[in-house]
Structure formats: structure tokens, C-alpha cells
Structure 1
Amino acid sequence: MKDIFSYRASQSDDGVYPTWKVVFTPADTLPLPTLYTDMAADIDRHLLPTALLIIVRDDVFDHAKKQIQASGHASDDWRIDTNTVPLVLLGLDRRGKCARTVRIGKAAAPTIDEDLFASLLHQGLREIFVRRGALIRAEDGQHFVHPSGKHSQAFIRAANVFVDGPETMFVAACLLACVPEQTRDLWIDTSSIASVAHAFALLRHLLAPDLPIPTISSFSSWRAISQEQSIPRTPHRAALVSATTSGNLARRLVSDQGFRADEVVTLFSFAKAGTPPIVCDLSADKVFWAGAEPMVSAEYREGKCALCDAQSRPIRFVGDQFLADSVCYEPIAILRDDAPKSLREFMQNYHGHEGFGLRAVDDDGDTFRQVGIDPARLLAVDRFQTRFKAAVHRHAPRHLTALVHLDDEASGKLAAEFLKVSDNHDTSPIAAQDLRSLAKSGALDGGIVVIAGSVGQGHDLDGISRDLRDPFGETPRTYIIGFSKHSHTDRSKQLVNNLKFNSLSASGQGYEHVVRPIESLILPDRPARSAWEAEFKLLSLLLEDATDAGDSRETDFLDARLDRLRETGSLAVEELFLSSPDGHPLELRDTFAFWKRDLYRSVSQGDVVFTMASVLENLRYGDAPKLVSDSFTQRVIDPGMFGRYNDGVIQASLLRCALPQELYYASMPQLSRQMADLVKRTFVAKPPANEGSLEFLLAIALGRLRLTASDTREVVDASVHLPYPAAALRKRILETPPDELALVRPTGARKSL
């Protein structure tokens, strides 16, 4: 079980670039193994922190200090050198203040005054609030009806925040400064926040055993106000309001229930005129609202709701747990304009060069990427050459101190091309792996260029950014990236900011480092199991059964298909799908909605998979996302899209690249029937209209495409004439409960990939 809460923080509430690492633990003993693991994961994800701050209870401060000193605080376990990165231990006292600090190591430590400590706590609260999705926003055309009767487009579900023990204790630590010390009766507005109230009581008792332990009870939110119930007026009482967008409940507790203003504490507030004390006031938080619409400011009364007047659908809740009354399923059409804006021109230039396909994530090959890219195969394309030369002419420094490139083939080729384009014959490229062995450079009056063929999450560039400091100090840097594969993700945007501002001089004192991607792509970037990984595990299971049955025809087929999947350790651009019923590979016909093909260049299956993966990702996370679901609306791909895009290779790409929930029609009989009819028509169609038949059946067998039970049976019955592996897939579908289709039991056959 995790026993710390950690986050990145800035030196102020509205800091854009959080470079400090903050760790909080409520434990009696500092959990060093957990700390080491957390530090390793954090540094792999972000840049090296500029300071590490550890917050512990003040009563265990001395013990924690001895633990750190005995651990060898400059060791590799910490992933930092405390002679250059400050490590500061902070003690939290009974008032929620920083009672004392101590520096571990030789690095100069920042001064933690009362205001800065309060800022760090606020940033931690904001991180938990965002991380746990406590602000629930309605989709367009919907709004919420609160238990109070008010209507709004958003509400705060505070219960979402309290799912992790150390995070809950952190919120409790922030309560110490707000709840009066002598409180004996603590009234909460909903039982869903009882955990933080009890955590507060425990934490205060540990820090101040002489103070009373409060009794915790719920007054059921607005029920105590609307039904004119009375909260007992005992001495030393206080009230805890979970969240507010208006501040009205806190004010009513004061006016109607006789609480003093300082006895009513609000946990999370978006109220512009909220009543202190407020633990986490997000009403004017610059970071939280950066680029966001203030959707929580407007509330309406029943019968006088502008949202209802605009035909917005009201979502009603039951009790203070905010349970939705129903879930709506909405089919989404995929249109030509749903592709990323640059995709059409990009693919018209790059298709046919075998640069897109399927690649295994690791050397074992048992986890597959949905889409891979080989930049080395695309460097000679005219469009890339033109853009690369323009970038070099614009950004190449007049005096080149060093040229560094990633360790892969494409990056090496680009580095050589950089020297050729810039007409530089005196510089020798430096591979990233050789940076750490370099001595400090004496010539620091020029610039450094870093070349990357392609970048995904950017861990390699993060590493280079750190390794450049010792030999080259604050020398200006230019990063030229051939293909930025996930340019739409927060991680990619953070990477760019980290690279730009990774020095004291670059932080507003004269210049920023330059980051210049040649091509920016929108591709999925998530660790979810891909359709190809699921296929490999299923076929391995079927191979076991076929081997036991002694069926050589089936084992030959399965062996060949599994061998093909194994080959994706490099980049497979063909045979990504099961063949058509007559044994031919799936091919794109003459027209394609998303780009115009060059008839003199062949189109690979990898080109089509790349295109559809990019289109679907843009529908989820682009500028105008449509394929996004929430607690109340499940958006699925309209079954009609498999008729509109009726090339087997496009249908197969949609089935493979869609998320399973985007193909879930089992709860909507009308959509399920529409999809089942389309699949059955495909089964009986003549070539080439039947090309995707086996891919449809495989998608059902993998649990990715879900129909109602009756529709599934009809589809299975309609597939009896299809060739192998249809028979094995039918058997699996019929013998496996629908909820278990996606769960493939481990196979005892040969080692997976």
C-alpha cells in the first residue's frame, strides 16, 4: 500500500513550471523504499527536480532526520545528488504550520516561510482535486440538478478526492489550520467526506494529544436547512462543508443554525464571495483556470433556468452521492473533417514509403504498439527535406559548440544531414550515450544543437537535457525533432516547456532554448493493451488447443500468424490483419476520404492504420473532441461508419484502433441490431465487399466489439461458411461469457514472443 503523497510544485501558487518535488507522509517512520520508487518514477516522467521537500509530522521530525542521514542521502537510491539539489525536511505542527526545517546535504536550501508553506499546501490540494477529477463538467447539451434544487453546468463531487489514504491525510493536514482547536462536535454536510474528518481527528490527536477528539456526525447537507432541522447548539462545535460553488450553505449555517463564521469550514470552493475559512479556494486559481471556461459561476433556480430554456438536458441526482438517473448512449459519425488539420497533406506526401506500421513496445514482443513509425524511412521525402533545411537555416547557430543526436539510426542520419545543410565540416556529432563521459567544454560562446529523429514521451531528450549541464553549462540549445508523435498530449507540451526553460538563464533572463519539431503528429499515447497484443494471446491459446487436437492445418495457420506478429519488433507495414475469406491481404481501393493517394505509390496497411489511429485520437483529444464519454453519456462509433468506410482495411483499422468502450453496443439494442445487420451483410457479400469478415469475428471474440446476446448469436450463426480461424473464433464466442471475452487465460504453450 502506498504511504506517501507526492507532487510537483512551484515557488508560488500560480507558477507555470513546477520544478520542486514535494513528498508528504503521515507515517510514524519515513517509508524510504516507497520514496525511492516514487523518485525514480517521477524523474523518468519529469526533469530532475530543483529541490526535494519532505513534509512529516513534527512529532516524528527528529526520527525522520536520522533516517535520511543514515540512508546515505547522496546515494543512487534518491536519484538526486544533495550536494547540488537541495533536500529539505519540514515538520508539520498541530496548527498546520511549518514548525521547523532542516537541510540535508550541501546544496543551498530555499527559505520556507509561512506564506511559501501555505502555497505548497494549496498546490498539493489543487493537485489532488485535479488528479481525482472532483470537478464534474457536463457535456454540451446537458447540465446538473443539485440536491439543493439549483441547476448548473458543473458540480464538485468531493467524494472523488478521498480515495487514497495519504492524499486524504494531506487534506486533513490542511484542515489543522482551519478547524478551531477546542472543537468537540464536528458536523459534516455529507457522509461521503467522513473519511477526511476522521483523518483530521487522528492527525490532530497524534500532534496534540491534549486536545479533545471531536465526535463526527452528518447534518445531511441542505436537508438541515430546507426542512428546518436544527443542529444541536453544543459548546465547541464546528461544521465542515465539502464543496461549494456559491457559498450559500456556509452562510445559511451561520444565519439559520447559529454557527460563528469561523466555525464553518469549507473544503473546496469556487464561490467568488466565499466565506472564510476555506481550505482550498479555487475560485481565482490561475493555474486551475488557465484556458478553462468558468463553468461553475452560474447557478439557476428550478423553473427559471436558462439552461433548461436552451433545451439542455437536466441530469438529476439521488441524495448526496450524486448518482445519475440514467446513462445515454450516443453514436458518433466519423467525418472527413474530423481528421487532424494537417493529416491530409502530411499523408499525401508520406504514404507509400513504408514508414508507418506496427511495432512491439519491448524486446520480448508481447506488448504491441497500436501504431509505430520509422523516421529513417521518411527522411528522404521531399516535404521533410524542405522543412528540415528551412529549420536548419533558421535555427542553426552561427558558431556551433556541439551537435548531439539520439542513439538511433534516424537521429544519426539527421545529424549528418544537419552538418551538410549548414555547410559545417569542422564539427563531429556526439551520440547521446557519450555525453556523460565528456569533460567540461572550454568553448561556451556558441550554441548546441540536439537532433532527434522522432520523439514519443521524450524521456531521451529529458536525459540529454540533464547530461548537457556538466560539459556545456548554460550554453543556448536548439532541439530539432524530426517527428513529434504525440504533440497533442500534456506530456509533450510539458516536455517542450521543460526543454525551453531548463536553465536559470532561460527562465526569463534573456533567452529561451529553441524546440523545433519538423512534423507534429497526433497518435495514441497510452499503455492500454492493444488489439494486436490481445490477438497474440488468443491465438496462442488456440494454438494450444489445436496442438492437443493434432490438427496440423490449424497449427500451421496459427504458427504463421504468430510468427508474423513476432516480426513487429522492427516495423511491420503489411499483414497487420487477418486476410479476406479468399485469402487475399486487405487493400485500400482507389479512393480514401482522408487523403488522396498517389497512384504511382503503393499504399500499405500501415499507412491506413496510422491514418485511422490519428483520426480517432483527434476525435478524443483534438480541438473539437466528439468521441469523449462521461459518467452520463457513453459515446460510441456510429455503426453506419463501417458501411461508409467499406474497404476491409479501413474497417479492420477502425476495429483495431478504437477503444473497446467505443464499440460497446450491448446496452443499446437499436445500435446493436444495426451493427449486427452490417456484419452479417459483410459475411455474405461478394469480394471485395467481404474482405473484413474475419476481422469482425475476431473483434467479437476479443471482446472489443460487443453486441447484445441475441445479436451475437445471429452473427456467429451467419459466419459458418467462413474459413479458418472462423470455426475456432465461433467456439470461443459461444463458450465464453461476454464479460470474459477480453480476458485470455495464460497459455502454457511456447513463450510469448
Structure 2
Amino acid sequence: MSWCFAFRWDADEKVSPGSVLVLAAIAAPFQSTDLQRAIDEDHCINLLPDRILLVMPETQRDFVSGSMPAILQDRAFLRIVPQHTSISAAYFDQHGRCEAFESIAGPEAPWPDQPFEKLKAAGLREIFDRRQVLMRPSAGLHFEHPRGVHSRAFLRTANALVSGVEIEFVAMTLLDYLKGATNRIWLDTSSIAALAYAMIAIRLRFDPTCPPLQVGTFSSYEGLARAKFPQPEKSLFLISATASGTLPRKLMQRESVGKDRVVSIYSAAEKNADISFVSDVSSHPDIKSRDGRSMLEVFQPDDCPWCRDNSRLARFVSDQFLADVIRYETAPILVTDAPTGLHDIAEAFANQGVFTLQRTSTGGHRIWCELPSSTFDTKFGDALERIAQRYVTSATSHFIHLDDPASKQLAVKLSDLAAADLVHRPQLVAASDLHTIKADEAKAVIVIAACIGSGNALLDVSRELRDILKDKPRIYIVGIAKNAEATRHSALTNDLVFNKSFKHELVTIRRLVMPGGEMHAWRLEERFLRELAESMPGGSDGDHVRTFVDVRSEHLRAALFPAGQNLFLSSPNETPLALRDGFAFWNDKTSAAAASQGDVIATIASVLHNMRTASVTKLWATAFHVMLIEPGMFGRYNDGVIQAALLRAAHPHELNYAARSDLSEAMRRIIDRALVRWNAPQGEAALEFLLAMGTGRLTLQASDCHKLRAPEGSPAILRHMLEYAQSKVRALLDDAIPSA
């Protein structure tokens, strides 16, 4: 559970240059490990920040001053936070205003005039986007509000209130409206009650003698006509969200109170000078439709343009949406879904043990690239020669390489290629030894990385070189850049090449689209197999299953799957899953004979990720429209190793075939065929299908799940994995049915 709300604040350059990582700890004090974890989690998603800003109540100031010196000496902390990163703290008072600011570590970073409101607005906007407060159904659907009007989209603040630390942050932004005489908080919906109680709790931390506040609800438009508010002048009215400002204006007029007594959390009203709100989202780019009409504009049923276009209605009562409008559709996986350049990547690096899985510190896994030294001659040779001719000059004083062996080998190769044309060979320096470079001896430098993901290691080098080289030229050479999104690579490029007088350069030899973050199928497998082994009785079947689990567990506990093998369960006859010729996403020049399982999952993960993130997406999920992988794809791509990669790389909601009876039946037939033909190529992935069911990553309707049968004579591991997976489904059903 997180102790803080973390978000990025790209402040105006005049106010605070660079990207600021804000860690807002509204309630709980933190420990060294908490701070490390929060920063490390942010690094998995974003580039390294220029500044870290702690936002805390002023009552924690002494605690921060006393604990930070020890934290700053912690080696684990220093590994993830470079010494040149500015760390500072802003302390707020009982009214949610910035009371004090102090620089804690790193370069001095003065806090400018009146920025705290901008910081709060940035945090609220982050929650708005992160939690999808703007509810937009998919094409062919629109909303019917409880009062009968229609709109294309809807603001649902309850979505923003799912995380305790985020609720506390929103509550902090509202503290200024809790005047001394306030004795009641009225809510337009009970779904934001947590917010009111968080406000009360924060205020009590500042002043335990504060009088108690009552909290009530008036049920928005439907309840306003009959609601009675004693002492409205001593009440604070919280409106979850307003699209036009109508409800807060009605309240102010009816109760004769000023706008400081009626506050909307989110407001999309274009004319809003006469109402109060904490976050203005009227200019949010997603609120305008393509024809320029506001997605939140409401229409009477007879005048609704969406109804005239035969759009279906998504009805809701109070805060609850009716589930019968959710659409589940399927998407095929086509050769054209592969990202640009995937054929070339496969041709260059498949069959060499380059791609595998690495276990992370949290127990998840991520795709890992391990480049052998032969790569630099056979795959990068021509490109490296061109780079040496173009970028290595007599002014090049140093080759700086990242600390991994592959980056060092790449630097040596580049140095050898350039040596014939140079009088003095540039000095090779590891990134960890940058402090040995003398500023007066450094001229132009080349920074070399064999393979990057987030690019944080390059950014570390870039920041340290600023002090050593000032504005002297730098060239960054990257062998493979595996990025989750094109925008991430663009952001990294902008950070690396930025310079006041001229731009540095970034040269990437190969780019690969790959999902960021962790993959969890292997962690779930480990737990499932452990529970399966524990459930087994004695006897030969039990011994067989426990031996199978023990061998598999050894592979799962490894920090790295060697040579990209043993990523998947074997076939039921204990043959490793292998690729046959004709893999659709590789060209004819790429042989399947020596392909590793790592090569296959890297390919499939890249294709699925491209289907989720390309300009025309095919796999997505909203509250009203979910795209599933078409069951027939497990027949089209019928190599067991490809099926296993699909099951592991897909998101669980993309395999939720229980949502539609026809899809569940179709998927059941595919799994049934694999079980029946367990000793043939068509049944290679039988255990992978059962594992996906047992861990909840693939779901069928209960009736279809329990129709599955293991044929007579099949191995004990197949029979008992099926039984245990079916028992897990029964347990879920039993939990969902209340006892009489």
C-alpha cells in the first residue's frame, strides 16, 4: 500500500525548470524504504526527474528534518537518486496553503511566488486522467442521466476516490473552504463521502479541539427540491462535478449563500466566474468531440443528436451504471498488427538467446535483452562503421559506456573501427567512473549503451556530464532501444539532446516496441503450482505432480531464464515447447529451428502491445466496451509455444471469455481439443491453457469450465491441474453466492 500520492508536475519553465516528481504524503510519515519504493516505482514509468518535491503537513516538518539526513546516506537511496537531484519540501497548513518551503538536498532550488495552487491543480488533473473521471462510452453508446437528459460523456468523481492517498490529496485542496463556523458538510452524492471524512481527519490532525462536523447528502438534482438544510450559512456544500454550473448556481440561489459555501470538485463549466471549484477541466482536450460540441452537453431525448445517430443508451441510477450495456467484441491478430521493423529485429536477433525474462525485485518479470559480443560484428557491423566515420573525430576525447559488459564491448568495437583514422584513440571510461574525467582534458564525448529500456541510465550520465563538460558536444549511441511507446522515446531524445547553444545527438541503431512494466503470469504460476502440490495426497500421482512442480519451481526462482528457455510449461508429455517453421511475424530468412521461447514471447508481446497503443488501437477496455482476443487466434497460431506466449502476454481482460456465452463456448472447444490431443502437436499447450484458467488470467463461464474432461490415460499432471483449476472456479462461485 502506497504511503504517498506520486505524480509528475511539469511546471512552467519560468517557475520551475524541468520535470518535478511530487510525493504528497498528506497523512502518514514515511520511512527510508517508503521513499525509495515511491521513487523506484516512478522510475519504471517516467524518466528521471530534475527535482523531487515532498508535500506534507507542517506538523511533519520536524520529523522530515530529523529523518532525512539518515535517508540521504542510505546507499540504496543514492543508487536511485543522483546527488545532483534537488530534493525539497513544501509544508501546508490547516487551510491547505503552503506555509513553508525548504531545500533538503542537492542543488538549491528556490520555490517561486504563488506556485502551490498550480501544484494542487496539476495533482487534481493527474487524478482526473489516471482514474478516468470523464466517462466516455465507446462508439455507438451515450448516457441517459437520472433526470432523463442525454449526453455523450459524464463526469463521475467517484472514480477519483479509489486510492486513500489520492483522496487525502483532494481533501487537502478543499481545506481552505472549511471556515471556522462550518458545522455541516452536505454532499450531492454519497459516493464522495470519503472525501468529507478525509477533510475532517486532516483538520483534526492540525487541531484536535475542532468541533465535530456532521456529513449528509441531498442526492443531486433529484433530491434538491425536497432537501432541507438547517443553517445553510454554516454549511459547506460539496458538488462532485458540474458540467455547466447549473447545480451550484441553483443551490446558491435557493439557500442565499455565497459561492465560497458551494464548491465543485471538478468543473467543466465554460462560464465559471460566479461558482467555486478546485479543478477546472473545461479546457480538457477529451471534452470536445470532433464536431466541436462538448461531450458533456445535455439534450432532451427528443432533441438528442446521439439518438438520431442510432446510438444506444447507457443508463445509470444514482452512481450505478447498468451492466447490460457493456459490449464485448473480439479482435483478430493479423500480420499487419506487428510494429514497424519487427521483421528486421527478428531477423537480426532471433536464435541467439538475446531475448529472455528477468525476475524483478517485486517478484514480477520483464522482457530482457542480453546482447552477445558477436552481435556487434554480425548485426551492427555496417551501422557501426557508418557511425564511426560520421561521429568519431579528432575532437573526440572519451568513449563513455554504461557499466554492463555489452555496452563496454560495443564501445571497444566502435573505438577499434575509428582507430585507423585517429592520431589519438579516445579514452574508454565506464559510467561509474565519470568522476575521473578532468574537465580541461574533455572535448567531445560519445556515450554508448548496448540496450536501453527507460533510458534512465543514460539520463544519469547526461546529468553528471553537465557539470564536467558544460556545453561541449555529446553523441549518444544506442544499440537497441526497447520502448513502451513512441512518445517515451521522443521524451528521452528531447532530454538527451537538449543544450542551450546547440543540440547534442542521439543515434539509435535498432528500435523495438515492447510493453513497459512487469508481467505477472509467472508469479501467479508459482503460487498456483505450490498450492497444487500442497493439495495432492500421497501415492504415485501425488509424487509425479510434486516432482513436476519441484523441477518447474527451480526455473521460476531463477533471476534470469538462461538463453531464453524454460519460460513456459512443457507439453503434457514433458517435451519443451518449440517453434515450428512459418511463424507469421518473422520473414523467411529467420529460421525457427533454433528460436528460443524468449524470442517468441518478445515477438508476441510486441505485437499485442502495438495493438493496444498504435494510432488505430484494436485492443482496449473502457467501462462500456471491452475488446477480447478472438478465440480463433488460438487455432490460427496453433504452435504450442505461440499459444503459451499469447496466454502469458495478454492482459486478463483480453481473455475474459466468460463475458459472452458464444465466446466461452468457442474457447472451451479449443481447450478441449488440446486436452484430447495432449500427446500430439495440437495439445502441446494443454498445461498452459489449464494454468491460465487456474490463475484467473483466462476465464470461461462456469458451465463451460466444468465440461472439460481429461481423457483416460493422460498424465497425472494434466488430470490434476484440470481438477485444481476447476476447483478454483467453484471456490470463486461459492464466494460470490451469499449464504442463506
Classify 1:325/1:239 alpha carbon distance in 2 versus 1 (closer, same or farther; 3 Å). Answer: farther
Structure 2 residue corresponding to 1:665, chosen from 657, 668, 673: 657
Matches within 5 A, 1:62-461: 64-65=61-62, 68=65, 72=69, 75-77=72-74, 88-93=88-93, 95-102=95-102, 108-114=108-114, 116-178=115-177, 182-201=181-200, 203=202, 215-225=214-224, 227=225, 231=229, 234-274=232-272, 275-284=274-283, 296-322=295-321, 324-325=323-324, 327-356=326-355, 358-361=356-359, 367=363, 369=365, 371-376=367-372, 379-380=375-376, 384-396=380-392, 399-423=395-419, 424=422, 426-436=425-435, 438-444=436-442, 446-461=443-458
Contact 2:287–2:296 (Cα < 8 Å) also in 1: no
Q: Which residue does 2:693 correspond to in 1?
A: 700
Matches within 5 A, 1:626-645: 626-645=618-637
Q: Distance in 1 between matches of 2:656 and 2:627?
A: 9
Q: Distance in 2 between matches of 1:71 and 1:583?
A: 54
Classify 1:345/1:35 alpha carbon distance in 2 versus 1 (closer, same or farther; 3 Å). Answer: closer
Q: Which residue does 1:727 correspond to in 2?
A: 719
How big is each residue's C-alpha offset from its partner over 1:520-566, in whole Å with a ceiling of 9 and x where there is no partner?
21223232422x44445555666678895367766766666556666
The more displaced of 561-570 and 309-318 is 561-570
Q: Distance in 2 between matches of 1:678 and 1:542?
A: 24
Classify 1:370/1:121 alpha carbon distance in 2 versus 1 (closer, same or farther; 3 Å). Answer: closer
TM-score (norm 2): 0.83
Compute the displacement of 1:413 (Å). 2.0
Contact 1:243–1:267 (Cα < 8 Å) also in 2: yes
Q: Aligned AA for 1:433?
A: S
Q: Aligned AA for 1:706?
A: T
The more displaced of 669-678 and 341-350 is 341-350
Q: Which residue does 1:463 correspond to in 2?
A: 460
Compute the displacement of 1:221 (Å). 0.9
Contact 2:600–2:641 (Cα < 8 Å) also in 1: yes
Structure 2 residue corresponding to 1:514, chosen from 505, 524, 531: 505
Q: Which residue does 2:478 correspond to in 1?
A: 481
Structure 2 residue corresponding to 1:714, chosen from 688, 691, 707: 707
The more displaced of 608-617 and 582-591 is 582-591
The more displaced of 373-382 and 125-134 is 373-382
Classify 1:630/1:85 alpha carbon distance in 2 versus 1 (closer, same or farther; 3 Å). Answer: closer
The more displaced of 450-459 and 372-381 is 372-381
How big is each residue's C-alpha offset from its partner over 1:475-502, in whole Å with a ceiling of 9 and x where there is no partner?
443322211223417765554444344x
Classify 1:210/1:610 alpha carbon distance in 2 versus 1 (closer, same or farther; 3 Å). Answer: closer
The more displaced of 410-419 and 257-266 is 257-266
Q: Aligned AA for 2:584?
A: A
Classify 1:223/1:734 alpha carbon distance in 2 versus 1 (closer, same or farther; 3 Å). Answer: closer
Q: Aligned AA for 2:660?
A: M
Q: Which residue does 2:737 correspond to in 1?
A: none
Q: Aligned AA for 2:150?
A: H
Partner SS for 1:715: coil
How big is each residue's C-alpha offset from its partner over 1:224-266, in whole Å with a ceiling of 9 and x where there is no partner?
45x5656557434442211122222223334455443443222
Q: Aligned AA for 2:539?
A: A
**Root-mean-square deviation (CA), in Å?**
4.2
Q: Which residue does 1:549 correspond to in 2?
A: 539
The more displaced of 701-710 and 617-626 is 701-710
Q: Which residue does 1:750 correspond to in 2?
A: none
Partner SS for 2:707: helix
Contact 1:376–1:409 (Cα < 8 Å) also in 2: no
Contact 1:328–1:634 (Cα < 8 Å) also in 2: yes
Q: Distance in 1 between matches of 2:83 and 2:403?
A: 30
Matches within 5 A, 1:553-702: 569=560, 571-574=562-565, 576-580=567-571, 585-598=576-589, 602=593, 604-606=595-597, 607-684=599-676, 687-702=680-695
Q: Distance in 2 between matches of 1:220 and 1:13?
A: 43
Classify 1:308/1:353 alpha carbon distance in 2 versus 1 (closer, same or farther; 3 Å). Answer: farther
Compute the displacement of 1:725 (Å). 2.9
Classify 1:14/1:263 alpha carbon distance in 2 versus 1 (closer, same or farther; 3 Å). Answer: farther
Q: Aligned AA for 1:310?
A: D
Unaligned runs of 5+ in 2: 734-740
Partner SS for 1:666: helix
How big is each residue's C-alpha offset from its partner over 1:623-667, in whole Å with a ceiling of 9 and x where there is no partner?
322222223334322211112222333223222322333222234
Contact 1:147–1:319 (Cα < 8 Å) also in 2: yes
Compute the displacement of 1:415 (Å). 1.0
Task: Tell me the percent identity.
Answer: 33
The more displaced of 46-55 and 651-660 is 46-55
Q: Aligned AA for 2:701?
A: T
Contact 2:572–2:717 (Cα < 8 Å) also in 1: no
Q: Distance in 1 between matches of 2:684 and 2:236?
A: 69
The more displaced of 294-303 and 675-684 is 294-303
Classify 1:153/1:419 alpha carbon distance in 2 versus 1 (closer, same or farther; 3 Å). Answer: farther
Compute the displacement of 1:345 (Å). 3.9
Compute the displacement of 1:113 (Å). 1.6
Matches within 5 A, 1:503-542: 506=499, 509-530=500-521, 532-536=522-526, 538-539=528-529
Contact 2:267–2:279 (Cα < 8 Å) also in 1: yes
Q: Which residue does 1:11 correspond to in 2?
A: 11
Contact 1:156–1:243 (Cα < 8 Å) also in 2: yes
How big is each residue's C-alpha offset from its partner over 1:571-615, in whole Å with a ceiling of 9 and x where there is no partner?
334554455566655444443332322276735143332222211
Contact 1:411–1:452 (Cα < 8 Å) also in 2: yes
Classify 1:107/1:710 alpha carbon distance in 2 versus 1 (closer, same or farther; 3 Å). Answer: closer
Q: Distance in 1 between matches of 2:17 and 2:538?
A: 59
Contact 2:483–2:515 (Cα < 8 Å) also in 1: yes
Contact 1:587–1:648 (Cα < 8 Å) also in 2: yes
Contact 2:485–2:513 (Cα < 8 Å) also in 1: yes
Compute the displacement of 1:158 (Å). 1.3
Classify 1:725/1:17 alpha carbon distance in 2 versus 1 (closer, same or farther; 3 Å). Answer: farther
TM-score (norm 1): 0.82
Q: Distance in 2 between matches of 1:556 and 1:176?
A: 60
Classify 1:4/1:361 alpha carbon distance in 2 versus 1 (closer, same or farther; 3 Å). Answer: closer
How big is each residue's C-alpha offset from its partner over 1:110-150, in whole Å with a ceiling of 9 and x where there is no partner?
14322x22222222222333343333332333333333434
Contact 1:580–1:692 (Cα < 8 Å) also in 2: yes
Total equivalences in the alignment:
720
Compute the displacement of 1:360 (Å). 3.5
Q: Distance in 2 between matches of 1:309 and 1:317?
A: 20
Classify 1:560/1:175 alpha carbon distance in 2 versus 1 (closer, same or farther; 3 Å). Answer: closer
